Structure 1
Amino acid sequence: MRRLSLWMRAHPVVGDTLIAGLLGLPDLAAAGANLADTPRGVYLIVGLFLWGPLIFRRARPKLTSNIILVAGFVQLVTHNVVHGPYGEIEGVPVRPADFALGIALYTMVAYVGRRQGAIYAAWLLLGTVLWEVWRIQDPPEVVLTFFMIICIFGFCWAVGEFVGARRQLNAELLERLKLLEVERDQQARIAVAEERSRIARELHDVVAHAVSVMVVQADGASYALQSDPQMAQMALTTISDTGRQALGELRRLLGLMRNETQSETERLPQPDTNALPQLAEQVRTAGLPVTLTLRGDLNDLPAGVGLSVYRIVQEALTNSLKHAGGSASADVFVTRADDKIEVVVDDDGFGTPRELSGMSGGNGLIGMRERAGVLGGSLEAGPRPGGGWRVHAVLPVGAAQGPLV
């Protein structure tokens, strides 16, 4: 039954044709009855215009309802009713096709609107009064038939109100579903954009750090190639290890960019505060003396906070390695106090105004600030009063349970 109901809803003309047939067949059968002075051809034509338009009532509700109304008034004028000497009525005062007027009223209320339905009901009421006074005439019969017709039209109006409200509700629900689909698509696009932004920051951090270390080591190897071959060999080994590590991270990030399906065991773990000693040693090998100081419990940090601390320290040391000068050193302090982590990276180097302005306006500092801002923290960077450069970040711990950024 449910499948039949869905099919009928998808093909409304079929159901409306059945309704028209249920009214048309008895109406045609009544054509053989006593029609008084009503021409049989007029009777058939008027009947056709009463029940025939019902086939298209949902496709063109206003037009078909008005055709049925006009046919009703034509019936009022053309269908003769004769009253006998004993009160009997000859002719067809009411025909089966007249129920199409009630269906038309229902159609106007449900498919066009309450205002148009009220106007249509007023015309029906006018035609009913004229029919009662002109054709029925007998007062008791007038009262009885008028009450029955008003009940029928009232029932049709009530059903039309109910169905119209359901259709309006369904239309609103459908519109909301469309809006939800649009919002879902927008959220998906926003999520993709955020993920691509995250991957871009990761790529920047990885490439900038690795290339800076490799450039410094390559320069050192070129100077030591003749005088100290062993030192040159160590520098080349550092370049090779740094390049392999960078290639591994780039492969992982580019795989995410291509949406490759990887199992968790195939993905390299994200660095966190536990990797800071290794990072400091790598920067020391590259030629920048680094002192690392860790305070507080840094083992149970949320993944997003641990990654952000690592990337901020990495970017700050990379900038010191590039801009601080050959005789500079750096101090890194990572301190956890209650529900926040404070990261301070100081160097005592020097940089030309062009270098400093380039760093302050570069993507590295922007990326560090974005990382801190996403977690609800803050980051300040600028020259130190006594010389050198300072990066100072404060990150909340409790607010960072979201994705790695």
Structure 2
Amino acid sequence: MTTTGAQQDAAGADARAWLWWGRRRSAVLDVTLALVSALECALEGVPFAETSGLPVAFGVVFGLIAGSVLVLRRRWPVGVVLVSIAITPAEMGFLMGIVGLYTLAASEAPRRIIVALAGMSLVGTLIVTFVRTRQDIASADFDPGSWYVPVVSAVMSVGMTAPPVLLGLYVGARRRLMESLRERADSLEQELSLLADRAEQRAQWARTEERTRIAREMHDVVAHRVSLMVVHAAALQAVALKDPQKAVKNAALVGDMGRQALTELREMLGVLRSGEGVPVKAVEPVPLAAVGAAAAAAAAAAAGVPGADGPALADLERLVEESRQAGMSVELVVQGELREYRPEVEQTAYRVVQEALTNVHKHAAGARTWVRVAHREAEIAMQVENGPSERGVADAGLPSGGNGLVGMRERVSALGGVFVSGPTEAGGFRVSAVLPMGVSAV
């Protein structure tokens, strides 16, 4: 809640009007106590003036001034206690002494000052009570024994000093404890708010990451087959009149690939629609992970691996064969012994080769292509390189969103690998990736 300048000025004026009191109730209480103390000291000043041989008016005025000092108990509790100790010999200011000791003990004053002033008040009260009790016994011609005066004096002095001090210490400790708990609660509230903000940021980051991964999976799954369909369609158009049998074969291939692409799209869209009608709190962030897993399953369908979790390195030969059927001259070279890797490593390697071949279909139709895979001791390396287009066509006219290379780099980097791509000196293009071993336990 924001405060205006007028409200701040009014609050400042109110604080100046009430001086050191934070609330009006506190000011009213202190003024009332000061009036009662002044009246008490004024009444006690009459016998003090008569005993001392002073004018009664002087004793009354002195009592009023001394008793009114209690109004300063919150601002200067040490001064109030010192005044009460000073007028103790005159048998004045009992209320001021009790309230002053309580206020001093409850304040933030050092303990040594509290103990020293409480001891001075105890000694002063003890002396005055001792003298007064002896005088009363002597005037009454009564001898209760030597123990009576010291015991009565000690009980009265301790009774007037210890209770206010102990109560003040308890109230002060409780007040400090409440302030500490309040500060801790405020600190915890700020920490919880900060944690909530961080959790929201992490959730937002996770949602963005999952959406990016799903988009990458859909791109990898669909783009390759659609590109092959376009290539076969172009070949079908070229040979339709010259070679009807080849045209029929290309048409069958286009139909098969179209059906496969539609199947994959239905699977992905079915997963994305499965979250409809579910409350938002119940689906965040689990459905995104489920969609990512389903996208991986759809990727397996794209690779044509029934019952597998996703495409694997063993499917590279069939992937290369599909490109050969589309008219591309592709040579596959495998070095080293084929081993089983973690599923994510095999899927990433497969996707890099698949996307690289898709880019050849798009941008270098008819170019000779080499696919090299090397199984090394601590890593697996793959390279897809194509030469210049033999048909003299720089681009096959296929649409491109510019996300293929970005997606490959993200996949490889996520596994701690290295990805490099760029043109070759011969006028072609090369895509290289190295992934850490990650051998699967068998």
Give the alignment's TM-score, normalised by structure 2: 0.59
8 Å CA contact retained: 1:359, 1:365: no
> 1:63 Cα shift?
5.2
2:316 matched residue in structure 1: 276
Deviations 1:192-232 (A, max 9, x none): 00111111222222332122111111111122222323222
Q: Which residues of 2 match residues 138-149 of structure 1 at below 5 A?
A: 139-140=125-126, 144=158, 145-149=160-164
Match of 2:241, SS state, is helix
2:178 matched residue in structure 1: 163
Q: Which residues of 2 match residues 3-402 of structure 1 at below 5 A?
A: 62=23, 64-78=25-39, 122-127=75-80, 133=87, 134-136=92-94, 139-140=125-126, 144=158, 145-258=160-273, 260=275, 267-268=297-298, 269-296=309-336, 298-326=338-366, 328-350=367-389, 362-398=402-438
Alpha-carbon separation, structure 2, partners of 1:120 and 1:295 = 93
Alpha-carbon separation, structure 1, partners of 2:318 and 2:28 = 88
Alpha-carbon separation, structure 1, partners of 2:342 and 2:238 = 44
Alpha-carbon separation, structure 1, partners of 2:230 and 2:399 = 18
2:101 matched residue in structure 1: none
Match of 2:385, SS state, is strand
1:26 matched residue in structure 2: none
Alpha-carbon separation, structure 2, partners of 1:120 and 1:354 = 94
8 Å CA contact retained: 1:376, 1:396: yes
Alpha-carbon separation, structure 2, partners of 1:65 and 1:220 = 96
1:106 matched residue in structure 2: none
8 Å CA contact retained: 1:344, 1:393: yes
Alpha-carbon separation, structure 2, partners of 1:232 and 1:311 = 30
Amino acid at match of 2:200: D
> 1:379 Cα shift?
1.7
Amino acid at match of 1:350: S
8 Å CA contact retained: 1:331, 1:345: yes
C-alpha change, 1:259 and 1:164, in structure 2 (3 Å) is farther
Amino acid at match of 1:72: L
C-alpha change, 1:66 and 1:343, in structure 2 (3 Å) is farther
Deviations 1:13-72 (A, max 9, x none): xxxxxxxxxxxxxxxxxxxxxxxxxxxxxxxxxxxxxxxxxxxxxxx9855445444443
Alpha-carbon separation, structure 1, partners of 2:26 and 2:439 = 64
Q: Which stretch has the larger CA shift, 230-239 or 183-192?
A: 230-239
Match of 1:226, SS state, is coil
Match of 2:340, SS state, is coil
| Identity in percent | 34
> 1:344 Cα shift?
0.7
1:40 matched residue in structure 2: none
Match of 1:227, SS state, is coil
C-alpha change, 1:365 and 1:265, in structure 2 (3 Å) is closer
In terms of Rg, which structure is larger? 2
Alpha-carbon separation, structure 1, partners of 2:157 and 2:82 = 11
> 1:191 Cα shift?
0.5
Give the alignment's TM-score, normalised by structure 1: 0.64
C-alpha change, 1:311 and 1:124, in structure 2 (3 Å) is same
> 1:253 Cα shift?
3.6
Amino acid at match of 2:33: G
Q: Which stretch has the larger CA shift, 257-266 or 290-299?
A: 257-266
